[in-house]
Structure 1
Amino acid sequence: MATQNTPIKQYHQGYSQRFNRVLDHIDQHLDQSLDLSQLAAIAYFSPYHFHRMFASCMGETPGDYIRRRRLAVAAFLLSHHPQRSILEIALMVGFGSGEALARAFKSLFGHTPTAWRQGADQHWAEEVVAIRQRAWWQRNFDQVIRNLDQTKLQGIGEDVSSNSQPRKTTMHVTIEHIPQRRVAYIRQIGPYGPAIGALWRNTFEPWLQLNGLTTQTCYGLGHDDPSITPPEKCRYDACVEVPDDFVANGQASIMILPAGRYAVMRFKGTGRDIADAWRALFSEWLPSSGMQVQCDLGPCFERYDRRVERDEATGEFECDLCIPVRPN
């Protein structure tokens, strides 16, 4: 069983590809029935063995995991899709009625769906604090994945969640059609922060070198909202574009980032600033844009062009913040 605030170490010990398939399938089918035998077949386990291994590796039963993911997605939809009814959101995440969603939602979050929706601004404030607490490592991200002969992170453990004055975010957002990308990824399950820096430095970067992928575009996908998801259960994928004939090996898995319309904001700054850039994109640009998040398209992500160098003097790096969108 995973301990509080500790990455799930067992996850990558032989079963990462199998469980990645299961977790990705769950996220893509939250509105459907997800029974144990179906998930076990995806992982190539018997139902009994799958249930036992899932609970051991993930720190919760398959049923508890699915319920938590459904409620987390419902919380996001309530905050960012005010035009959708509670019943509609309930059906989108696999609950049979608005009343069933309301009971489960209040049990987990302590608020009714209606109260949660009305307090969206407060949830944003909590989200920004949570992102800032995880974001310090990104100050060195560019150095980690671009300067192959300099893998030592500096400033590890620096606290940017307090006593720091984030600069005002300048937003230049474009709507871009991004083609389908086939990516290989290595997943970290555990608290955002130092463990993610270690994932890039100690695991993903050596894997990129071993597979001749050091010049390819990389992506960072944080799947979970750290203001509502327990730290030890947050999922982060370090990703890299790969050709169609590439076969994943070791801890890596393959997934498709789907083609679609994305709001893309060019970010330049340090880890101190990126949380505020995400906040501004969602809470300032999105409501006045005539767009809404297209939740069924795929996750939001950061896109890193490895040809762009990190500024050693200022600690600044550049990336694109990408949100799948559609017209309201």
Structure 2
Amino acid sequence: MMTAAFENYQARMQRALAHIDAHLDGELDLATLSGVAAFSKFHFHRQFSATFGLSVHRYVQLARLKRASQALARDDAQSVTDIAMDAGYDAPDAFARAFRQRLAQSPSSFRKSPDWASWLTAFGPLDNARNKLMKITFEQDDVKILDVPDTPVAMMEHRGNRAKLGETSERFRAWCKASGLPPETGRSSFMVFRSEREPAVPDDYSMDLCVGTDGPVAGDGQVKAGTIPGGRCAVLRYPGNTNNLEPAALYLYRDWLPQSGEEARDFPIYARRRLMPIPGMQAREVVVELHLPLK
């Protein structure tokens, strides 16, 4: 009974998200969305925030700004004024302020030279919110065994409490940008998981943050050259942009590996993240692939 009630609750929240997607040009106030989800309008804003980690207003604003950024990146792009109106702003100046605040670029600057690293960061909360209701399941056919070449990388090690991983990631992103190795250059980034996601002792958490590069690595004491060794790998593509790859890793270890007859190689499981072009647009989508090294 509790499972059925929970699934019904999630389905009603999913209806609200689907309505937002389909009516970004329309009225998306609390009364409208609570009616779509069949919840009380007096409590819906708290229920929405508790479920998705964003208020209704912030979610709608991010969804409209994301669509606006994609419109700016299209080859047959509209005028900035038209895009601002479509995003629900009465004046281009108000749209420009909101856009700059979120993406650290003006709309015209983004149109000329999009900063995709900032774009990913800006809309990460939106992706995370949408993923909360995504039921992710995998099957044997989702896993491909590939021969992966050696990959030279620049690497920054994170050792210690996972709560401080964000600080390490920010330092590494800043180094990549200063070194001309941001995501928009088409280079892959990697996360090598050297410990459990949540070890019994938090300070035992260990991960390497890497970016692929063929050139010399001018280390600053924190960044050094390294190599992700090639060989046979079980590769599982993860749907969407996320830092929580635990469901995919669990599937590989618990379900796929015992049934495959394969044995894991003596190198940690790692993720490869890259930006891939969306046909007909300058925009990119994130592709995340989990690699389990095999003997």
TM-score normalized by the length of structure 2: 0.50
Query: Greater Rg, structure 1 or structure 2?
Result: 2
TM-score normalized by the length of structure 1: 0.45
